Amino acid sequence: MRMTFLRLVPLLILLSWPLDAAVAATGLQALTMTTASNGTQTYSLSIQALFLMTALTFLPAAMMMMTSFTRVIIVLAILRQAIGLMQAPSSQILIGLSLFLTFFIMAPVFTQINTRALQPYLNNKMSLQDAALSAAVPLRKFMFNQTRESDIKMFGEMAGHDAFKSKDDVPFTVLVPSFVTSELKTAFQIGFLLFIPFLIIDLVVASVLMSMGMVMLSPMIISLPFKIMLFVMVDGWSLVMGTLASSFYM
């Protein structure tokens, strides 16, 4: 799965980047060799390869903004805050967990991109531009399924577009911010629901301590073990991961 994703990197970048017809026709020639009249040879890096290497810097942003990564990492961060653990699990663990859960959720989309675009392009059955357009179809479908129409309408009006007649008329410049906004809303809604049971435990512990006159003792110290025990007893990690994975509409 990881190797398949790495092979999809060029196509994922080209989805949100305009393609030049000449580049699509000739391909990306990484190294150019020139032979002088005296027999010496000089090598130079082509502009197309330099452009592709520069575009690779946008890969982390595309990974976060065009996949399920945003929702997953926000929910896990809110969950850690709700339990009351500041450093456990660490941020590195949360990011790694979110990354591989994103691979799991996006596996059907990546499989379609590999079948429809990457393999035909590697077998010289499709041009680079056509491969990028074919790869955009399953990715756009995934993003549209998670995006609220109100967000698309808002960003479309801000960009000066009239009402879109179909989903094909929505450009990536409107779809991506609409998708991210919808993901933020959904992530905070899930985080709110996760926060409620832990908040109830904090309120109960604080009320008990107040009634006992132990006002100098921090309720967080007493409630933390109970919240951890509750989360473990209900198999919280499996519930959270399963809920996150099933919350996406393919």
Q: What gap in Å lies between CA 95 and CA 101, rounded to an integer?
A: 10
Question: How remote is the C-alpha of 175 from its chain's centroid?
Answer: 14
- What pLDDT was estimated at residue 26? 44
pLDDT of residue 34: 59
Cα(227)–Cα(38) distance, rounded to whole angstroms? 78
**What gap in Å lies between CA 47 and CA 144, rounded to an integer?**
34
CA-nearest of 8, 9, 112 to 58 is 9
Whether the pLDDT of residue 8 is over 80: the answer is: no
Residue 58: closest CA among 97, 16, 21? 16
Residue tagged 């000089």 (tokens): 42
Query: Among candidates 110, 111, 134, which has minimal Cα distance to 24?
Result: 134
Q: What is the pLDDT of residues 140-155, one digit of tens each?
A: 888 888 888 888 888 8
pLDDT number for residue 46: 57
- DSSP string of 118-184? IHHHHTTSS-HHHHHHHHHHHHHHHHHHHS-HHHHHHHHHHTT----SSGGG--HHHHHHHHHHHHH
User: Which range, of 24-28, 93-97, 209-213, averages the lowest pLDDT?
Assistant: 24-28
The pLDDT tens digits for 38-90 are: 665 554 555 556 666 776 777 777 778 888 888 899 999 888 888 887 777 88
Cis amide leading into 89 (omega within 30): yes
Q: What angle do CA 79, 238, 249 make, to 5 degrees?
A: 85
pLDDT at 36: 56
- Produce one character per residue of 86-101: b if its CB has 16 or more CB atoms within 10 Å, e if not: eeeeeeeebbebbbeb
Higher pLDDT, 64 or 32: 64
Q: Where are the alpha helices (DSSP H) in the chain?
A: 2-7, 9-14, 21-26, 47-55, 59-65, 69-83, 91-113, 119-122, 128-146, 149-158, 172-211, 219-233, 236-246
Residue with tokens 């609220």: 148
Q: What is the structure's pLDDT at 120?
A: 81
pLDDT, residue 50, reads 65
> What is the pLDDT of the chain when averaged over all its residues?
76
Confidence of residue 188 (pLDDT cuts 50, 70, 90): very high
- Residue 21 has what pLDDT? 39
Return the pLDDT at 68: 86
Is residue 175 predicted with pLDDT exceeding 80? yes
